[in-house]
Structure 1
Amino acid sequence: MDFTGPVGRIVDDPQEARAIAVAEGYSWKKRWRPAVRMQNGNSAHALENGIHMLQPWFHSGMSRDQASELVNRHGSDGPGAFVLTCKALGKILHVPISPLIDPVREAHVYSLDSGVTKFYDLLQLVEFYQLNAGCLPTRLTHYVVHTSDGTSGNRLAPAN
């Protein structure tokens, strides 16, 4: 396709197509690069200073029992593990967030459904499940804020 004129046109001649590509500087062919690259295969590296750390729903260093207690009032498999804890139909559900490598983008991604739906950060994951139930029994509608004095409160998720 040639978009240099007022309307686009299909280019059939390979030499003309090559000339257009050279004139455009091959910008259409540049490979996408993820913002955060993996270093030495360290999967937790991308999470050290992620945007999720600033979110009111993110609780760092919380055990599964603490998360259950927090959800009951209004899990962790080890360092670097993330779990989405939600309450639906009176039951508490702990859903492991799987860190994966996207083979197409060669980037670190997160998924609740074994890579069917992939997210580049935890904020995208939470925002998606606020809008869609996906593999969860319900959409995420509220989050729990845990303050430094040990109190907690139930908050409505922002409407998107």
Structure 2
Amino acid sequence: MDFSGKAGGRVIQNPTEAQSAEREEGQAWRRREALRCSLPNLNSGARPSSIHKSQPWFHGGVSRKEAQRLIEKQGLVDGMFLIRESQQHTQCFVLSLCYKLKTKHYLVIPCEDGGRKYFTMDDGLTLFIDLLQLVEFHQINKGILPVCLKHPCVCVAL
């Protein structure tokens, strides 16, 4: 079935034409997805929502090594997590998560869809309006993670 025309779909009888239409649609889809969910333009000046800054699981600009140390200090419990700013990718974040006594790190990328900004960890398959929504979703659903987010790794002042 070919839906590329304005008049709706049409049945393609010729197998060669069907393969060609399928290939063209696949290439067009890949171009749209690559454009929509590529790493952000560092000069765009766009700032993501800042609701996450008041959350106990947000640790700002801590390094990967420091994130691992904080999680270890509070106990290597499955589902212990924190979110931090990425040091390698401007405007991106990292979800650091403990699973099976190891800390894993997942890149959270801002992207656009229909002119609105979202966050994703799975190349745009699942979109979140802010980091708070991302965390709340993954507290109930594993999604691409090996375990649900259960225990926020909080900043402890000593």
TM normalised by structure 1 equals: 0.60
Letter in 2 for 1:85: S
Other-structure match for 2:155 = 146
Superposition pairs for residues 1-160 of structure 1, below 5 Å?
Answer: 41-43=44-46, 45-47=47-49, 50-74=50-74, 76-77=87-88, 79-102=90-113, 105-147=114-156, 149=157, 151=158
Q: Report if aligned partners of 1:109, 1:121 keep a CA contact under 8 Å in 2.
A: yes
RMSD (Å), alpha carbons: 1.7
Letter in 1 for 2:124: G
Segments of structure 1 that go 5 or more residues without pairing to the other structure are 1-39, 152-160
Letter in 2 for 1:80: Q
Moved beyond 4 Å, runs of 4+ = none
Identity %: 38
Other-structure match for 2:12 = none
SS at the partner of 2:56?
A: coil
**Paired residues, what number?**
105
Segments of structure 2 that go 5 or more residues without pairing to the other structure are 1-42, 75-85
Higher RCO by CA contacts (8 Å cutoff, separation 6 or greater) = 2
Letter in 2 for 1:68: Q
Q: Which has the higher helix share?
A: 2
